[in-house]
Amino acid sequence: MRRGAPETPKSLEGAALNRREIKLALAEPLPEEVAAGAPLTLAVRIAPAGLELAGAPFRIAANGKVCRREHLPDPTGDDRDIARIAFTAPGEIGEFALRLTIPAHERAGTTFGEASLPVRLRTRAHVTSLAVWDCPAPVVIGETFRLKVGAQCSPGCTVLPGSTIAICDESAAVLARAALGNATWPGTQALYWAEIEAAAPRRRGLHTWTAKFAARPPGTAHSQASFAFTVLADAPPAYLVTVAVVAAEKSQPLADAQVRLGARRAVTDGRGFAQLAVPGGTHELSVWKSGYEAPQRTVEVTRDATIAVEAVLLPVADPDSYWQG
C-alpha cells in the first residue's frame, strides 16, 4: 500500500468488484406514428452482450409520468441480449418523450447501476368510420321513421359505446341523436350501432342528410367522422296500384321483376303481380328484369287500379359474332 493512500474496507472492495454497469439501446425502431392507446413492443438491446437481466425491474414514463412498472421478460430466440417489452402507447394525441429505466438493484450478489433509454413517440387519433342502413325508401312526409347507424375505429377498440351519433339535415340542424350501444352488429368485429328515430322531411324529393360522430368522453382519441346519405320523401299513399307483368312471347306471368312506380318499389310474385301504395298524381312506371325489356310509361293515378305490362324477351347475343366480322 502506498503511503498516504486511504485503506479501502474489505466490504467495499467486494461491492466494487461485483458492480456492473449496463447500457441500453433500441434494437428495432419504433413506428414514426402510432394510434393513441395502441399496443407496442419496445425491443431493447442490453449491453454487455450475454448479460442476463430477465426479471430485473423496469419502469416506462411518458413525459415524466410513469405509465408502467414491471420486470424484464425472458429473452426469446437467438438474441439473448434483446428484451422485448410490451406496453401501451399513451391514450392522448401528441408528442411524447418516453424513458425506459432499469433502476439500480442487486441480484445474486451483483449490484447493477441505473440505466435508462430515451425514446420519442408520436400518437395519432383513431380513424373512425360510420355506416347508415335500414333507411326506408321512401319515407312519408309528416311521419317518423327509424334507421340504424354504426361506428367503428381503425384499431377496433372497445371505447365507442356511449359515444353519440347525430343526424343532421342539409342546413346542419340536428334532427336526432342516439348513443352507441354496448353490442356490436352481428357478423362484425367492432361495429357498434344504435337505432335512431327521426322525422321525415317536410317536402317531397331527395334530401341529403349527414350522420356525425362525437366521441365520449370528450378528448378520447378518435377522429371526427361524418357520413352523407340520401333520404327520399314522398306524400302519404292514397291508392293501391297493382302492376301485372307478363312475358310477351308466351303471355305468361313474369316473376321476380323489379317494378318502380314513382318513389315506390316492389317485386312481382309468382303470378307476376306487384302491389304498390302510392299517392295520387302523375308517376313514372318502369319494369326491369335481366334478359327482358319493358317500355317505361307515365301513368296518372286517381284511384285504385291494375296496370298490365308486357316484357319482351331480348335476343341472346351470339358469342362468335365478334369474330365473324
Nearest to 71 by CA among 52, 49, 98, 96: 52
Both 70 and 114 in one domain: the answer is yes
Both 230 and 146 in one domain: the answer is yes
234, 259, 274 - which closes a domain: 234
Within-domain flag for 262 = yes
124, 155, 179 - which closes a domain: 124
| 151 within 8 A of 136, measured Cβ to Cβ | no
Beginning with the edge strand found earlier in the chain, give each strand of the sheet holding 65-71 in spatial order.
34-35, 115-124, 94-102, 57-62, 65-71
The model's pLDDT over 277-311, given as tens digits with 9 standing for 90+, comes to: 999 999 999 999 999 999 999 999 999 999 999 99
| Confidence at residue 116, expressed as pLDDT on a 0 to 100 scale | 95
Which band of pLDDT confidence, cut at 50, 70 and 90, is reported for residue 5? very low
Q: Which amino acid is at 65?
A: K
Within-domain flag for 188 = yes
pLDDT at position 13 over 60: no
Both 189 and 260 in one domain: the answer is no
Mean pLDDT on 180-190: 92
The model's pLDDT over 202-228, given as tens digits with 9 standing for 90+, comes to: 999 999 999 999 766 555 678 889 999
CA 241 to chain centre: 42
Within-domain flag for 253 = yes
**DSSP annotation of 221:** S
Q: What percent of the chain has pLDDT over 90?
A: 65
Strand, coil or helix: 156: coil
91, 124, 157 - which closes a domain: 124
Within-domain flag for 214 = yes
Within-domain flag for 3 = no
Both 119 and 137 in one domain: the answer is no
The enclosing domain of 62 has a CATH number of 2.60.40.10
Sign of the dihedral through C-alpha 237, 238, 242, 243: negative
Cell of 59: 419502469
In terms of C-beta density within 10 A (0-12 exposed, 13-18 middle, 19 or more buried), how is residue 236 classed?
exposed
pLDDT at position 321 over 70: no
**DSSP annotation of 198:** E
Both 132 and 230 in one domain: the answer is yes
Which band of pLDDT confidence, cut at 50, 70 and 90, is reported for residue 251? confident
pLDDT at position 158 over 90: no
In angstroms, the CA 83 to CA 49 distance is 12
Cell of 145: 321513421
| Confidence at residue 316, expressed as pLDDT on a 0 to 100 scale | 72
| Confidence at residue 153, expressed as pLDDT on a 0 to 100 scale | 85
The enclosing domain of 246 has a CATH number of 2.60.40.1120
Looking at the chain, the number of H-run helices and the number of E-run strands are: 1, 28
- For 282, the domain range is 239-313
Both 207 and 263 in one domain: the answer is no
Both 120 and 88 in one domain: the answer is yes
pLDDT at position 159 over 80: no
Which band of pLDDT confidence, cut at 50, 70 and 90, is reported for residue 317? low
Both 298 and 223 in one domain: the answer is no
Within-domain flag for 28 = no
Place of cell 367492432: 190
- Tell me how many domains the chain contains: 3
| 208 within 8 A of 249, measured Cβ to Cβ | no
Within-domain flag for 324 = no
The model's pLDDT over 46-88, given as tens digits with 9 standing for 90+, comes to: 888 667 788 899 999 999 999 999 999 887 667 778 899 999 9
pLDDT at position 6 over 80: no
Cell of 22: 449496463
Both 82 and 45 in one domain: the answer is yes
Both 37 and 69 in one domain: the answer is yes
Report the predicted TM-score, pTM, of the whole model to 2 decimal places.
0.66
Within-domain flag for 268 = yes
